[in-house]
Amino acid sequence: MPTRREFVRGCIIASAGVAAAGGLYGAASLLAPEPPAPQLRRVDYFGAALVTGPAVRGVPLLPLLVAPDGAIAGNPAPRSVPGGVLGWYRYCAHEQSLPLQPGFPTDDERLRYFATKDKLESAPMAGDAWWADKVGEVANVADFAPGKGAPVAWRSAGMQGKNIITATLVRAPGEVVYEDRDLQRVVEEGFAARTASGGTILGFVTFCPHFCCVMGWHESPLAKRRSEGPGAQNVWDALYCNCHDVVCDALRIRRDFFVSPAR
């Protein structure tokens, strides 16, 4: 057992060793070549406005095309977005997803109802999973009454895990505005579709802009409970993420940007 004097002396020597090591490391750092700067690029997008929660931005829109028979498809290259919208999905570690690669072979951009096992188990408890028996079918405008929403997959036939690219389709329950103005510009640019009766269909990227969980519309029992009672905030008629309470407003579209790894 060391005496108190030996113990204190040992501590001083150990401290000196750490300091010396730090000095050497510091000197080595000065000599080391600068690491290459990460290649980043700015990605502009239209998206739902963030209402509450710890995210720094809202969730992007997926541009839509509607066929004469009402089938809804994603539009990877609307005219006003240089490089197309595949870049909008390049966050939350989906940067390398095969369906986001420009050369991904697909001749079918249609959106199909899609749900993971977890979602199929939890969403019906929220009481509005009308799409549960349609999983795998092509989404159609005729399925969406005002206020209805559904989870879908895009360009993902035969894909698994991170390679499944998902979106949430919503028929807006009311008037949608763009930067507090009319939505017409967003519609003309192909980022929102009109129904024959004048309703608005929007598609949203599902990856939460906070820590990448999955946002949903009318899917979360928690969102339903939180919306009940006098004075409660209505997070049911919103894009909602269970994890840390991020809420985005599907009726308010904004132009914004984020920074993603370069291709």
Contact positions vs ligand FES (CB under 6 A): 53, 208, 210-213, 241, 243-244, 246
Handedness of CA 145, 125, 131, 156 (dihedral sign): positive
Q: How far is the CB of 77 from ligand FES (least distance, A)?
A: 29
Residue 97 tokens, joined: 């997803």
Nearer to ligand FES, 137 or 245 (CB): 245
Quick one: tokens of 48? 């739902």
Q: How many CA atoms lie within 13 A of 137 on its CB side?
A: 14
Minimum CB distance to ligand FES, residue 104 (Å): 27
Question: Closest separation between CB of residue 208 and ligand FES, Å?
Answer: 3
Cα(186)–Cα(206) distance, rounded to whole angstroms? 19
Q: How far is the CB of 60 from ligand FES (least distance, A)?
A: 14
Helix/strand/coil for 214: strand
Taking the least distance from each CB to ligand FES, the nearer of 65 and 243 is 243
> 129 Cβ partners below 8 Å, 6+ apart?
115, 120, 123, 218, 219
Task: State which residue, 167 or 246, has the beta carbon closest to ligand FES.
Answer: 246
Q: How far is CA 205 from the centre of its chain?
A: 4
Amino acid occupying residue 171:
R
Nearer CB in complex with ligand FES: 84/221: 221
CA dist 261 and 39 (Å) reads: 6
Q: Which of 90, 210 has the CB closer to ligand FES? A: 210
CB of 139 to ligand FES, least distance (A): 24
Q: In this structure, which long-range contacts are made by residues 82-91, counting pairs with CB atoms below 8 Å and at least 24 apart in sequence?
A: 85/45, 85/60, 87/41, 87/43, 87/260, 87/263, 88/43, 88/45, 88/60, 88/62, 88/205, 89/165, 89/205, 89/207, 90/43, 90/260, 90/261, 90/263, 91/207, 91/212, 91/258, 91/260
If the CB atoms of residues 208 and 253 are measured against ligand FES, the closer one turns out to be: 208
What's the closest the beta carbon of residue 110 comes to ligand FES, in angstroms?
28
**Nearest to residue 48, comparing CAs of 142, 153, 186?**
186
Q: Least distance in Å: CB of 256 to ligand FES?
A: 17
Which residue's CB is nearer to ligand FES, number 25 or number 211? 211
Q: Which helix (H) or strand (E) holds 4?
A: helix 4-31
